[in-house]
Amino acid sequence: MAKHRRKSRDLTLWCASIVFIIQSTSQVRGAPGPSSEFRTYARVQPRVFHRNNQITTHTKINNSSHPQVLRVDLNIDGVSRTIDLRLNIDLISSGYRQVHQLDGHSKTEVPETVELCHYHGSIRGIRSSWVAVSTCRGLRGVIYTGKTLHHIHPEEDSLSSLHYLYSHSDLISNKTCGTPGVAHDFPRKKREVPWGYPKGPYNSNRDSRYVELALIADTTIYKNLDRNLNNVHHHLINLANIINALYTPLNVFVALVGVEVWTSRDEIVITTDSLRTLTNFMNYRKSKLLNKIPNDNAQLLTATRFQDGVIGKAGVGAMCTLSSSGGVIRDHSDIVGVVAATIAHEMGHNFGMHHDANYCNCPDEDCIMVSTLTSSTPTHWSSCSLEQISASFSQGLDYCLRNRPKSLFGGSTCGNGFVEPGEDCDCGSKDNCHISCCNPNTCTFRGNASCATGECCDLSTCQLKRAGVTCRIAERECDLPEFCTGTSEYCPEDIYKINGLVCRGGTAFCYEGLCKSHGDQCRILWGLSGSSSPRVCYQQNTKGSEYGDCGYNPLDSTYSPCEEVDILCGRLHCQPPDGIRFQFGADGDVTVRHAYVNSGNTFASCKTAVVDMGTRDVDPGLVPNGARCAEGKVCVDQRCISAERLLGRVDRSSSCLKNCSGNGICNSIGKCHCDEGFAPPDCRRGGTGGSEDSGPVGPSDDGETDGLAIALYLIFLGIIPVVVVFVLCYRCRRKKLKGSIWNEMFISTYVSGVQWIQRIRSYIPPEDSTTRNSDKVFTISDSIPGTRVQVIKGNLVSTTNPEVISISRSIKINESDSTVIKNQRSVVKGCGMRPNLGGIPYSAGSASGIASGGSNDLEFMCESNSEIYAAFKRLKPVRPGPSTQRDEVQISDRRAFYKKKPPPPPIL
C-alpha cells in the first residue's frame, strides 16, 4: 500500500507573503498631523449634507442611527467633486458577535444594535468611480476617482476638522514580495481591461458569493487604540467596509459576522515568525474561534513586526477549509485603506489567486495581487486573478459562499441592489442603474412599467412576460422546468423531481434535483477518466480508518466505521488511471490514500480522499446522496435506506400517489408535474403540461415561433408585393423621364463630405418648361436614369451631418454643423488635390470640417473610405458628346443637392 498526502502549500506555494519595507513609524492611531508614509498631502474640508442640511460634527440622527443617504462636497486634485453615499447595511450580518476577554475568560455578546456609519458610493458624474468611507469619527476611507486612488483621514475625530487627503501614488514605502518563484521581474505591458464600478448583486444574484468574515485584533492593536473597545470595533468595521468594496467587482460580497479583541492576553503565541504565527492562529480558529464566531474566513491583525518585513501571510486556495481559511496581517499603517488592501490581497490567496505575473492584463500599472506593491494604485483585479478565482469556483472552492447572510439591519434600503419590502425595484445607485424601468432614487417603477427585474420581466418594454414562457430550464435529469405565471416578474420557486425516483438508467436515484452515482462522484474528484472501484474496496469502510470509513471528524481526527449494510454509502473508492492527480478544489487540504486489495486473481486499486470542507459542508470524498446501494435502496447521509422510505418523506397528494394518472411525475413538494398535453393537478384532462407550482406551460417557450410567423406573413404578404410594384413603376418611369433633370436630390446613404462635383454641361440635355418646376425626388444611385451621367464613388471625408450643399451659378460648400469623424480603420490625410468644379468658381472659407483650410491652396481631407459609403458622388459622362458651349449653360437656381438626415455611421 502506498500513502500519498497532497499538500501543495509548502513554504513557496502554501504561504503567500507581502513584504513591505516599512519605516519605523508609530502605530498609535489618531495622532495629530499628517502621515509620514506619504511624500505629500492636501488639507481639505469636506462638507457633508443630509437632505440639503449640512452636518458639522457627526452623522448620527437623534444620537442613534446614521442616515441612509449622504452627500459630500470635497475638493479632489483641485476640482470640486460631489460624492453620493449610501449606508452599507449589508456589511454586518444578523447574529453579529463581539468577543473580548473579561476576568481572564472570553465573553461573547450578540448586540441588538451596532453603530453603522459605513458607506459605499461614487463620485457624481464619474461612473467608474467608487468610494468606501466611514463617518463615525470624521471621514475615513478610500476614494477612487476612476484614475487615481486617494485616502482620506481626519486631523481630529470630527467632520468639522480639516482632513488630510493622500494620493496613493505618493506613498513612500516600496513593498516587495518575499515569495520566490511566483512573479517575474521584467517589464509589464499595460493592456486594456474594461472596468467600472460594481453594478451590485441586483444583476447577478444567482452567481454572487458571500464571505462571512471574522476579524481578530490582538493585544498590541488593543493597546495602540488607547485600550478602547469601541475604537477597535470601529477600526475593524472600517477595514471590512473597504475590503467589501474591493471584492464587489468580482461579485463577491464580504459580510462581517464578528470581531474578537484580545484585551488582556493573546490567545495564541505570536512571534516574529509569520509562518509559525499563521499555523498557531489556524489551529486556534479550528479549535475555538469557530465555536465563538462561525465564519468562512478569519484574519488576525497584530502590530508585531514579522521577520524580513513580512506583513501578510495566508494559505493559497484555503477558502472555506477548516484548517487553513484565514491569514495573519501586520497592521502596518495609520491609513485604514492601506491595511484593507493588504487584507484583500491575503484573502485573494485564500481564494486561490497567485501573484500577478508579467503576462497578466491589468487596467492600471499594478493590480491588487501584484507581488511588488509600489506606490501605484492597486484597486483592480488582473485577468490572472479573475481566471484563478473562476477556476477555484469551478472546482468547488465556493461551496461555503453561496448563502447570503441576513443583514443585522432590518427594513429596506433603496440603492443597495436588493428588492426589499416596500420597494418596487432596486437597481443600485443612480450612477450604476442601467435599467430604464426603475427609478433609482425612489426604488419605484417608472411610468407605466409593471416590472424592473426578474426572469419574467421584459426589460425592453418593462412589462411582464406572458404566462408560459420558460424562465428556468431543466438543467439535469432530475430537474423540472419553470414557467412565468404572467402575474409576477419572478420565476416560480425551483422545483425538481421528488426524491427517490430512479434515474441514470437505474444506477442512482433523484435527490434534491441531482442524480449522482458512485462513478459520477469519482469523475468529479478525479476527472472524466475516474470510475468507481469494485465492491471489495468498499469493504474497507467497516474499519473506520484512513483507508475506509463512514465519516471523518476533523476536530478530533477520528473516523467512524460503517455497518456492513452501509459500506456502499461510506467513503468513496475510485480507480483513476495511473498519473491522474486529484482534481477537486483549488489547493485545499486534501488527504489521498491509495490501497490495493486482493480480489481473487488480481488486486483492486482503491483510492480515497478526505477533503477539508469545514464543519458545515459534506465531504465530497464520501458517497453522494442518491447513489444506489442495493436493489431498490439509496444512499442518504451515509446510510443505505429503501427508496420507498425516501419517497415517503414528502407528503404526496392523492394524484401523486396515483402516479399522476400515468401522464406525469411527482415533484419535490408532492404534486403532479404533467407531461405535455395534460393539465394539472391530476394530469387526467387535456392541457399544456406543467404543474401548479412551476407555472403553466405556454404554446411556445419564448414567443420566437409567433415572431417568426409574423415576420413571414409580413415578408410574403407585404414586403414582396411592394417591391414588385416598385420595380414595375420604376421601369415605367425610367422610360418616361429620359432627358429630364431633377431639381432636388435627397441623400439616403451615409453622408460624407464633398471631394468634388464635376458637371459636364454639354452632355446634359437642356431643361424644358415641363421639368423646370418639377418636384420629383429621387435617390442617388449608381447611374442617373434617363441621362448619360454615371455616379462614381470618391475618396471622401466622413462627417455625420453636413449642411446643405447647393449648386447654382457658383458652387458654395456651406459650413458643416458637425466635426469630421476619423474612420477608425483608415487614416485621414490630405490628398493634395484641389477641387475641380468644371470651370465654376469656388467660394472658399466655408468648408470647415471638409477642407483643411480657407485659402485657394486648400487641400481636401481624404481617406480610403473602405468602410463608409460616399453619399456625394463624382459625375462623369458614360460616352462622349459635343462640347462647344460648356461655360454658357445656365443652371437653374432650384437645381440643388440637399441632404436628408442620415442614420448614424456604423460602429467601426
For residue 367, is it within any domain?
Answer: yes
Can you give the pTM of this predicted structure? 0.64
In the block, which residue shows the cell 474612420?
823
The pLDDT assigned to 532 comes to 96
The pLDDT assigned to 32 comes to 59
The pLDDT assigned to 35 comes to 86
The pLDDT assigned to 601 comes to 83
Task: Single out the residue of 292, 356, 290 nearest to residue 324, CA to CA.
Answer: 290
For residue 334, is it within any domain?
Answer: yes
Beta pairing partners, 171: 38
Co-location of 558 and 440 in the same domain: no
Co-location of 585 and 447 in the same domain: no
Co-location of 422 and 285 in the same domain: no
Question: Domain span at residue 724?
Answer: 703-736
3-state helix, strand, coil in the chain (%, to 5): 20, 25, 55
All three cell numbers of 267, joined, read 490567545
For residue 472, is it within any domain?
Answer: no
Task: Single out the residue of 250, 241, 201 nearest to residue 88, CA to CA.
Answer: 241
H or E element in which residue 294 lies: none
Catalytic residue positions, numbered: 346
Find the angle CA(885)-CA(888)-CA(891) to the nearest 5 degrees: 125
Co-location of 730 and 837 in the same domain: no
In the block, which residue shows the cell 476617482?
145
Q: What distance in Å separates the CA atoms of residue 688 and residue 835, rounded to the nearest whole number? A: 71
The pLDDT assigned to 412 comes to 66
For residue 5, is it within any domain?
Answer: no
Co-location of 710 and 837 in the same domain: no
For residue 747, is it within any domain?
Answer: yes
**Helix, coil or strand: residue 503:** strand
The helices-and-strands tally (H runs, E runs) of the chain is 13, 49
> Between the CA of residue 450 and those of 204, 421, 438, 464, what are the distances in Å?
21, 16, 10, 7
Co-location of 100 and 153 in the same domain: yes
Q: What distance in Å separates the CA atoms of residue 120 and residue 134, rounded to the nearest whole number? A: 9
Report, in angstroms and rounded to the nearest whole number, the Rg of the chain calculated over CA atoms.
37
Co-location of 759 and 865 in the same domain: yes
Co-location of 383 and 520 in the same domain: no
> Between the CA of residue 625 and those of 457, 513, 645, what are the distances in Å?
36, 11, 14
All three cell numbers of 450, joined, read 409593471
Co-location of 721 and 804 in the same domain: no
Task: Single out the residue of 868, 691, 857 nearest to residue 797, CA to CA.
Answer: 868
Find the angle CA(778)-CA(783)-CA(784) to the nearest 5 degrees: 45
Helices (H), 362-495: 383-394
All three cell numbers of 470, joined, read 420558460
CB atoms within 10 A of CB 51: 8
For residue 447, is it within any domain?
Answer: yes
Residue list for the binding site: 345, 349, 355
Co-location of 145 and 176 in the same domain: yes
H or E element in which residue 839 lies: none
> Between the CA of residue 251 and those of 203, 244, 453, 490, 710, what are the distances in Å?
10, 10, 18, 21, 40
pLDDT tens, residue by residue, 747-795: 333 333 333 333 322 333 333 433 333 332 323 333 434 444 443 333 3
As averages over each run of 10 residues, the pLDDT of the chain (908 residues) reads 42 40 38 78 93 81 82 94 91 92 89 89 90 93 91 92 91 51 36 34 61 96 94 94 91 93 96 95 95 95 91 90 92 88 92 88 81 62 88 81 74 72 80 83 90 91 93 92 91 92 94 94 91 95 95 90 97 91 73 89 92 83 96 96 92 88 92 91 89 76 48 64 75 52 31 32 35 33 41 34 32 34 33 34 33 31 30 36 38 30 41
All three cell numbers of 889, joined, read 449653360
Q: What distance in Å separates the CA atoms of residue 514 and residue 503, rounded to the nearest whole number? A: 9
Co-location of 98 and 215 in the same domain: yes
For residue 663, is it within any domain?
Answer: no
Give the CATH number for residue 333.
3.40.390.10
Task: Single out the residue of 285, 388, 324, 292 nearest to residue 7, CA to CA.
Answer: 324
Do residues 680 and 674 lie in contact, with contact meaning Cβ atoms separated by under 8 Å?
yes
Residue list for the binding site for Zn(2+): 345, 349, 355
Q: What distance in Å separates the CA atoms of residue 250 and residue 210, rounded to the nearest whole number? A: 11
For residue 83, is it within any domain?
Answer: yes
Co-location of 728 and 836 in the same domain: no
Task: Single out the residue of 471, 434, 436, 474 nearest to residue 455, CA to CA.
Answer: 471
Question: Phi/psi at 514 (nearest 5 deg)?
Answer: -115, 160
Count of structural domains, the chain = 5
